Structure 1
Amino acid sequence: MTALDALLRDRAARDEPVCLFAYDLDGLRRHVTAVVAALPPRCRMYYAMKANSAAPVLEALAPIVAGFEVASGGEIAKVRAVAPAAPILFGGPAKTPAEISHALDAAVTRLHVESVLELHRISAAAVARGTTVEVLLRVNLAGPFPSATLAMAGRPTQFGIDEADLPAATAAATSLPGVRFAGFHLHSLSNNLSAETHLEMLGLYRDTVVGWEKELGVVVKVLDVGGGIGIDYQDPAHHFDWDGFTRGLVAWVDSVPAHWREIQFECGRYLTAACGSYAVEVLDVKRTHGTAWALVRGGTHHFRLPVSWQHSHPFTVLPVERWDPSVPRPSVTDDRVTVAGELCTPKDVLARDVPVARVRAGDVLVFALAGAYGWDISHHDFLSHPHPEHVFLDDDRA
Structure 2
Amino acid sequence: MTTDDALAALAGRLAAADGLPAYVYDLAALDRHAAAVRAALDGVELYYAVKANPDPALLRVLAPYVDGFEVSSGGEVAHVLSILPDARLAFGGPGKTDAELALAPKVSRLHVESPYELRRLAGLLDGGDPVDILLRVNLEAAIEGAALTMGGGATPFGMDHAGVEECLKLLDRDDRLRLRGIHAHLASGLDAPALLALAAEVLGYARDLGLTEINLGGGMAVSYRNPAQMFDWAAYGRGLAALRRPGEVLRIEPGRALTVYCGHYLTGVIDIKRVHGETFAIVTGGTHHLRTPVTKGHDQPFTVIPGRTTDDHPRIHDQTVTVVGQLCTPKDVFARNIPIARLAVGDVIAFSMAGAYAWNISHHDFLMHPKPGFHHLG
Q: Report if TM-score (shorter chain) is over 0.5.
A: yes
2:208 maps to 1:208:
no
Structure 1 length as normaliser, TM-score?
0.91
Cα separation, 2, equivalents of 1:276 and 1:37: 22
Structure 2 length as normaliser, TM-score?
0.95
Say if 1:52 and 1:272, in contact at 8 Å, map to a contact too. yes
Residue 25 of structure 2: aligned partner? 23
Cα separation, 2, equivalents of 1:176 and 1:116: 13
Residue 384 of structure 1: aligned partner? 368
What 5-or-longer segments of structure 1 have no aligned partner? 214-218
Where do residues 29-40 of structure 1 align in structure 2 (5 Å cutoff)? 29-40=31-42
2:116 maps to 1:125:
no
- Segment drifting more, 132-141 vs 163-172: 163-172
CA deviation after TM superposition for structure 1 residue 70, in Å: 0.1
1:254-299 deviation per Cα after TM superposition (whole angstroms, max 9, x unaligned): xx3x332x21100101110111111111111112221111111011
Structure 1 SS opposite 2:199 = helix
- How many residue pairs get aligned? The number is 375
Give 1:275's aligned amino acid: C
Residue 278 of structure 1: aligned partner? 265
CA deviation after TM superposition for structure 1 residue 85, in Å: 1.0
Residue 216 of structure 1: aligned partner? none
2:204 maps to 1:220:
no
Instruction: Label 1:292 to 1:29 Cα distance change in 2 as closer, same or farther (>3 A).
Output: same
Residue 75 of structure 1: aligned partner? 76
Cα separation, 1, equivalents of 2:183 and 2:221: 19
Where do residues 75-94 of structure 1 align in structure 2 (5 Å cutoff)? 75-94=76-95
Residue 324 of structure 2: aligned partner? 340
Say if 1:317 and 1:363, in contact at 8 Å, map to a contact too. yes
2:66 maps to 1:65:
yes
CA deviation after TM superposition for structure 1 residue 17, in Å: 5.7
Instruction: Label 1:221 to 1:251 Cα distance change in 2 as closer, same or farther (>3 A).
Output: closer
Residue 13 of structure 1: aligned partner? 16
Say if 2:220 and 2:231, in contact at 8 Å, map to a contact too. yes
Say if 2:104 and 2:131, in contact at 8 Å, map to a contact too. no
CA deviation after TM superposition for structure 1 residue 221, in Å: 3.2
Structure 2 SS opposite 1:205 = helix
Say if 1:195 and 1:244, in contact at 8 Å, map to a contact too. yes
Give 2:328's aligned amino acid: C
CA deviation after TM superposition for structure 1 residue 44, in Å: 0.3
- Segment drifting more, 352-361 vs 170-179: 170-179
Structure 1 SS opposite 2:253 = strand
CA deviation after TM superposition for structure 1 residue 171, in Å: 1.6
Give 2:121's aligned amino acid: I
Instruction: Label 1:109 to 1:121 Cα distance change in 2 as closer, same or farther (>3 A).
Output: same
Give 2:99's aligned amino acid: A
2:261 maps to 1:259:
no
Cα separation, 1, equivalents of 2:279 and 2:168: 58
Residue 309 of structure 2: aligned partner? 323
Say if 1:17 and 1:281, in contact at 8 Å, map to a contact too. no
Instruction: Label 1:22 to 1:174 Cα distance change in 2 as closer, same or farther (>3 A).
Output: farther
2:110 maps to 1:111:
yes
Cα separation, 2, equivalents of 1:45 and 1:38: 11
CA deviation after TM superposition for structure 1 residue 9, in Å: 1.9
Say if 1:339 and 1:350, in contact at 8 Å, map to a contact too. yes
Structure 1 SS opposite 2:162 = helix
Q: Percent identity, please.
A: 44
Cα separation, 1, equivalents of 2:13 and 2:206: 55
Structure 2 SS opposite 1:206 = helix
2:234 maps to 1:243:
yes
Residue 152 of structure 2: aligned partner? 154
Structure 1 SS opposite 2:137 = strand
Structure 2 SS opposite 1:267 = coil
Cα separation, 2, equivalents of 1:308 and 1:132: 41
Give 2:47's aligned amino acid: Y
Say if 1:146 and 1:198, in contact at 8 Å, map to a contact too. no
CA deviation after TM superposition for structure 1 residue 174, in Å: 3.5
Residue 168 of structure 2: aligned partner? 170
CA deviation after TM superposition for structure 1 residue 353, in Å: 1.3
What 5-or-longer segments of structure 2 have no aligned partner? none
CA deviation after TM superposition for structure 1 residue 168, in Å: 0.8
Give 1:202's aligned amino acid: A
Structure 2 SS opposite 1:238 = coil
CA deviation after TM superposition for structure 1 residue 131, in Å: 3.3
CA deviation after TM superposition for structure 1 residue 154, in Å: 1.2
